[in-house]
Amino acid sequence: MTLPVRAGLDGLADYHSPQVSVEVRLNTNESPYPPPAGWREAFLQELQTVSFHRYPDRGAAALRGAIAELHGVPPAQIFAANGSNEVIQALCLAYGGPTRTAVVFEPTYALHAHIARLTGTEVVTGARDANFVLDPAEAERTISAARPAVTFLCSPNNPTGMVDAPDVLDAARAATDAGLVIVDEAYGQFASQSAIDDVADDGNLVVTRTFSKTWSMAALRLGYCVAPAEVVAALDRVILPYHLDVVQQIAGRLALRYKPEMEARVAMLVDERGRLVRALSDLAVDVWPSGANFVLFRPRAGSGTDIWEALVARSVLVRNCSTWAALDGCLRVTVGTPAEDDAFLEALAEVLG
Ligand code: PMP
């Protein structure tokens, strides 16, 4: 028996990164380093005090307060959820939906368009150029024509690593009349510029962040946005009650006490990213500058999928983007530990011959 799913879901595949059992996993942009031992101890200790028979704080006030303090904004401008993906879903539930439009600029993070479509939002696509740079004029043109309820920018952009020039955001905001402009900064701390200080309580800019990458907490599923208080109130209306469990709330609040340690990990990964890019430049691949914790590259000969498979055969897993629109032949590698990156570089050199 085939039970028909609702209209609009038929053409939507599920979204995942193939997981293969390998020694070197560089495919999902996690941190190769765990959170600090001090955080782990404080976290486990606080878990001992939890009343597990009671619902968690529905508004996650302590967590929101700590995030608000981190960014120097009132707690009413912070919304937290199960990963920044759920923040994006809540934004689409509140501001997208049938008869409304979202704009994305491809190639970019596939979940922006995917989540928009899941919520019944029509997706209009603008394009980055052949080197994945988003031209402010293209942003302006696409937004003026589509008049979207939601525009997604992503800086640093996944999977290209590219940081948008500030005039891209200026152009997007100038072209938008009644919609939200969302800047996905999942990799924000790896770059030298951010839009987070531009968020104003009376504006239409929202910046999303995650604990999954720089904070080394992908297992805990925690993300948030800084937004006008009016937007946060709308997100609170569409999210399920008690969506953040007590464990996530404790973990996130305590993580923020270890900001210097986070910054030290980020600095280490940025250095390592430089080494990885230089080493890739010596191989027969095209490589793009990255402001994130991953690097996009394109082997000059051979099929991307064949090279991806040959790397897997050498126990190295990267992301195969080679069949995605506008990413012909490209692969994406997460910055790992120096040892992991050496294993990747050695395997790639061997594969490329
Ligand atoms: N945005 C971007 C650009 C990402 O690359 C990711 C993770 N792949 C996310 C959002 C989602 O991260 P999470 O749900 O783990 O916070």
Ligand 1, closest atom to CA 211? 16
Q: Which residues contact 101 (CB under 8 A, 6 or more apart)?
A: 121, 122, 123, 124, 146, 147, 148, 149, 150
**Which residue matches tokens 């150029």?**
129
**Please, which residues bridge with residue 333 across strands?**
295
CB of 154 sitting under 6 A from ligand 1: yes
pLDDT at 14: 74
In the predicted model, what is the mean pLDDT of the chain? 96
Place of tokens 């939507």: 12
**What's the CA gap between 90 and 84, in Å, rounded?**
10
Q: Is the beta carbon of 119 within 6 A of some atom in ligand 1?
A: no
Q: Is 186 within 8 Å of 320 (Cβ atoms)?
A: no
Looking at residue 295, its pLDDT comes to: 98
- Ligand 1 atom closest to the Cα of residue 28 is 8
Least confident interval from 5-14, 189-198, 201-210, 324-333:
5-14
Ligand 1 atom closest to residue 109's alpha carbon, by position in its atom list: 3
Phi, psi for residue 307 in degrees, rounded to 5: -70, -40
Mutate to test the pocket of ligand 1, among 31, 88, 157, 210 (most ligand atoms within 8 A of CB): 210
Peptide linkage before 107 cis (omega within 30 of 0): yes
Q: Kindly give the distance from the C-alpha atom of residue 152 to the centroid of ligand 1, in angstroms, as a whole number.
A: 13
Q: How far is the CA of 49 from the centre of ligand 1 (A)?
A: 31
CB 186 less than 6 A from any atom of ligand 1: yes
Q: How many CB atoms lie within 10 A of CB 339?
A: 10
For a pocket test of ligand 1, which of 27, 84, 214 has the largest count of ligand atoms closer than 8 A to its C-beta? 84
**Average pLDDT, integer, range 179-195:** 97
Strand 101-106 with 150-154, pairing: parallel
pLDDT exceeds cutoff 80 at 276: yes
The CA R_g of the chain, rounded to the nearest whole Å, is 20
Contacts of 115-122 spanning 24+ positions with Cβ under 8 A: 115/85, 115/88, 115/89, 116/92, 116/150, 116/152, 117/8, 117/12, 118/9, 118/12, 118/89, 118/92, 119/89, 119/92, 119/93, 120/8, 120/96, 121/92, 121/96, 121/97, 121/149, 121/150
Grade residue 188 by pLDDT with cuts at 50, 70 and 90.
very high
Identify the residue whose C-alpha is closest to ligand 1 atom 14: 83
Atom of ligand 1 nearest to the CA of 29: 8
Cβ(290) – ligand 1 distance below 6 Å: no
Identify whether the C-beta of residue 138 lies closer than 8 Å to the C-beta of residue 105.
Answer: yes
pLDDT of 11 reads 73
Per-residue pLDDT, 278? 98
pLDDT in tens, 224-245: 999 999 999 999 999 999 999 9
84 Cα–ligand 1 center, Å: 6
Q: How far apart are the CA of 154 and the centre of ligand 1, in A?
A: 10
- Give 91's pLDDT tier (boundaries 50, 70, 90): very high
Mean pLDDT over residues 300-326, rounded? 95
pLDDT digits (tens, 9 = 90+) for 331-352: 999 999 999 999 999 999 999 9
Q: What is the structure's pLDDT at 20?
A: 86
Measure 217 CA to ligand 1 centroid, in angstroms: 12
pLDDT category at 43 given cuts 50, 70, 90 is: very high
Q: Residue 33 pLDDT > 80, yes or no?
A: yes
**The overall pTM is greater than 0.85:** yes
User: At residue 97, does pLDDT exceed 80?
Assistant: yes
- CA of 282 from ligand 1 middle (Å) equals 30
Supply the pLDDT for residue 325: 85
- With 80 as the cut, is the pLDDT of residue 13 above it? no
Q: In Å, how far from its chain's centre is CA 87? A: 11
Percent with pLDDT over 70 in the chain: 100
Q: What is the pLDDT of residue 16?
A: 72
Is residue 308 in contact with ligand 1, taking CB distance under 6 Å?
Answer: no
Residue 186 is given by DSSP the state: T
Q: Does 10 score more than 80 pLDDT? A: no
**pLDDT digit string, tens, across residues 55-83:** 999 999 999 999 999 999 999 999 999 99
Among 25, 109, 162, say which to mutate for ligand 1: greatest number of ligand atoms within 8 Å of CB. Answer: 109
Distance (angstroms) between ligand 1 centre and the Cα of 261 equals 21
pLDDT in tens, 123-153: 999 999 999 999 999 999 999 999 999 999 9
